[in-house]
Copies of this chain bind each other. A is one copy, B any other.
């Protein structure tokens, strides 16, 4: 592809600029995308990606199982299917959710094209332009993009090392209602949150649910990493406490993201709407992929496989935390995840992580600047660093390089004053989450 002649890709001269829907104005190319192309070079240690490490998957088992699927059930797997998804897979999904204490009926599950599509469909069903979605501060950039794409207003509520702060949620709800706007739902990632890695404590879960019930606000619980905890049994989901919660799950982190199979579990009336939205969006999620996941769950020790993945990620998490401890300047703070893929690193105020990124890439290390995880311009002195993909050795080397870049930046800052934040941007006293001290 790179040998093909380059086409004009600039939207500066977009001849269709005055024809798009209003929502399209909210669809913008990430400012750091171009840099990520550079960061993909092998000499750069990328702590930027959120790709699961699927190197331990038994390709022979998967390959044989999919070949059998084609040979024995090809006419069904290769044909259109139902909009709600394969009945057998929906039963198996209920078994998976049972590990987190959820008692659910397969009739209330809708299969989606990754859980990303579930976020899209829930937003499609609930949100008019100007409706408010409350999100953690910071929150998953892909969900923020969906909410913006549906012209929602995003109101943030802060996170600390114990997850979403109940008083911050309450305040966000009260002030939004006082401004005359409708809160459609709370979007939360309670386990090993993207991007902070923090997990909501059991007591917080109960409090958050109680607040949302009292204010009559739906909860959208996004849980792609729930089975990837390092220490304990899986935490009971919020949905396990409250069947009114809309729960989103995914096989992307526990099996394969390339098959794009996720799901939503929702109260029956909402599930009906989600199926209609799914039929409009794709007619049906790919039957082939659903049956491939179903066959994998039937034919393979998938729980053993997940255990193996957890050990691999734990080793990498340890490598990252050890390296942070060893190399980072004392004025930096970071979270200490019990599972999942991510650490949230906060630098001394005055350093702008987006402005620093080109210098980091030059030093052969990449990360995601924090501002993308906020809808309101905060996050400038934070970044997400992930340990899911590189080897422990590369993680240590990446953190070492990053520490060097940060130290140089701090020296510059001491010598010349703040170089980073764009004048006029708000600076919070403390970045989120504000609990980690090192």
Binding site for B on A (CB under 8 A): 1, 4-5, 7-9, 11, 14-17, 19-24, 27-29, 51-52, 54-55, 57, 59-60, 62-64, 66-71, 74-81, 87, 91, 105-108, 113-114, 116-117, 120, 124-128, 131, 142, 145-146, 149, 184, 218, 252, 256-260, 267-270, 272-273, 276-277, 279-289, 292
Given the known interface contacts A145-B279, A276-B27, the answer about A7 and B105 at a Cβ–Cβ threshold of 8 Å is yes
- Complex Cα distance, B149 from A120, in Å, reads 14
Main secondary structure of the interface of A (DSSP, over half): helix
- Complex Cα distance, B17 from A110, in Å, reads 19
Closest to A147 in B: B280
- Complex Cα distance, B273 from A51, in Å, reads 24
B residues less than 8 Å from A8 (CB atoms): 268
Given the known interface contacts A7-B105, A20-B126, A288-B258, the answer about A116 and B281 at a Cβ–Cβ threshold of 8 Å is yes
Given the known interface contacts A259-B286, A280-B145, A281-B120, the answer about A21 and B125 at a Cβ–Cβ threshold of 8 Å is yes
Given the known interface contacts A78-B257, A283-B142, A289-B286, the answer about A105 and B59 at a Cβ–Cβ threshold of 8 Å is no
Q: A24 touches which one: B80, B105, B218, B273 (CB < 8 A)?
A: B273
Extra 4 A-B pairs, beta carbons < 8 Å, given A20-B126, A27-B276, A63-B68: A16-B269, A17-B269, A113-B282, A116-B283
B residues less than 8 Å from A149 (CB atoms): 124, 277, 280
A363 shortest CB reach to chain B, Å:
26
Indicate if the CB atoms of A281 and B279 lie closer than 8 Å: no
B residues less than 8 Å from A128 (CB atoms): 21-23
